Structure 1
Amino acid sequence: MSNTLRPLSDHWRNRYLLMRHGHSQANQQGVIVSSPERGVADFGLSELGEQQLVQRVADWQWPTPTLVVHSDFLRTTQTAAHIAAAFGLTPSVETRLRERYFGEFEGQSDDRYSSIWALDAEDAEHTHHRVEAVSAVATRMQAVIDGWEHKASGETIVLVSHGDPLQILLTALAGKSLATHREQTPLAPASITLYGRSV
């Protein structure tokens, strides 16, 4: 699955392949795994996720990556390793690409997401149930891109992250209200969205 958005301007220095990790064991079990304490060491890719990445590489339709940068959660680390190996690259960790922290809902059923998203739609600054605010996620995700825009040029950078952070980032890049992030088309596991410098 691919989602390609027009860049905000023609002044991007790099291309970004915004990639959600492949289907994970947390997805398979229907549980929320958003804390580093649980997500860095456990809940990696499911067998389906591994198959998705094999297919993604076999059907590659995007510019050839020159860098692979990823969240340090196991599911994103494994996804990044697969993509990097396919292109002879060495992946690097960027903790600002981590999953959004879901506070009191950590370890609970993923059907709890909907109640947080409803609160998001009312206020992108809320931290009810100790959830990380949408605005905070947007700030750290945008900072990653801003950093690469300042220190590199002409690169094609795969940023491997998670569903909520990527949808929030795409909402911010499109100049939309962060409270509308769930109006973005949901990003499927192993999906890639091309953003930035024109091909």
Structure 2
Amino acid sequence: MKFILFRHGHSLANQESRIVSSLEHGTKTTGGPLGTGFGLSDKGKQEVRMSATSLAYHIKSYSTSTKKQTQIRILASPFKRTLETANLIHDTLQTSFNIGQIPLPEQALDLRERFFGQFELQTPSDDLYTTVWNQDAVNPFHEKFGVESVAMVTQRTTRVVRSEEQKDEEAKEDMEETFVILVSHGDALQILQTAMRGWSGDRHRQLEHLNTASWRELEWCPELAEAHRRK
């Protein structure tokens, strides 16, 4: 099983430099600069299509070189910007590259955005994020400003990975490889990568940042992978 982390495309929240981190605001189809919620901007839609195209080539290249059939599952945070991203990924893979019949994206609540507490709907987002990240580097369990701790985000995002691995173990065929595309948010994916690398949560900003609409293949570090195999 191969996991692809895919950050949502540039959004209307990014465009306004506004933090939209709660389920209440992130899933709405009203409000925001266009009255349609905080989904993708036009720029975001274009960059998702381009990035999904490169992902399609990556998957096809793998299946060609290994002679394995590939199965694809797409899981997405329930926020509007991530669901729109997931649907664009699905359409690009399905219609443009004929990889095979791909199930529609599934919503996964545990892939939701990290909640930023009292900074919700505030601007400028970069300055406010940095305020939180400085505290993360001291204590990954902190909940200052009412934010969700790094530790809690780690727990729920790794739960998604383990759940998918369990499905794979129950239905594995030797001639198949499953790609699971996890469509989520900057902090959630940054923290998940840190956990799968085996690093402590206070180091999550030390990893290379995932830009909007960018994707990265990820696996457990060898020590954690071996621990999983022993279970």
- 1:145: Cα distance to partner? 0.2
Q: SS at the partner of 1:185?
A: coil
Instruction: Give the SS at the match of 2:140.
Output: coil
CA displacement 1:52-111 (0-9 Å, x = unmatched)? 012123333422561111000000000000011223331110010000000000011102
Q: Tell me which protein shows more helix as a share of its residues.
A: 2
Deviation at 1:173, TM superposition (A): 0.6
Question: Which residue identity is paired with 1:37?
Answer: E
- Whether the 8 Å CA contact 2:116–2:148 is kept in 1: the answer is yes
Would you say the 8 A contact 2:27–2:80 is kept in 1?
Answer: yes
SS in 2 for 1:50: helix
The SS at the match of 2:163 is helix
Find 1:80's aligned residue among 54, 61, 86.
86
The structure number with the bigger radius of gyration is 2
TM-score between the two structures when normalised by the length of structure 2? 0.77
1:96 aligns with 2:120: no
Distance change >3 Å, CA 99–CA 133, structure 1 → 2? same
Determine whether 1:116 maps to 2:132: yes
CA distance in 1, matches of 2:156, 2:54: 31
Task: Pick from 117, 133, 141 the counterpart of residue 157 of structure 2.
Answer: 141
Query: Equivalents in 2 of 1:58, 1:150: separation in Å?
Result: 29
SS at match of 2:132: helix
Gaps of 5+ in 2: 29-36, 61-70, 95-101, 221-231
Supply the distance in 2 between the matched residues of 1:173 and 1:192 (Cα, whole angstroms): 16
Deviation at 1:132, TM superposition (A): 0.1
Instruction: Trace 1:1-199 onto structure 2 (pairs within 5 A).
Output: 14-41=1-28, 42-60=37-55, 61-63=57-59, 66-88=72-94, 89=102, 90-109=104-123, 110=125, 111-152=127-168, 153=172, 154-196=177-219
User: 1:172 & 1:59 partners in 2: Cα distance?
Assistant: 26
C-alpha distance in 2, partners of 1:137/1:55?
29
> How many equivalent pairs are there?
184
1:78 match: secondary structure: helix
Distance of 1:194 and 1:98 partners within structure 2: 19
How far residue 116 of structure 1 moved from its aligned partner, in angstroms, is 0.4
Q: Which amino acid aligns with 1:71?
A: S
Asked if the contact 2:53–2:92 (Cα under 8 Å) also holds between the matched residues in 1, the reply is no
Aligned Cα root-mean-square deviation (Å)? 1.4
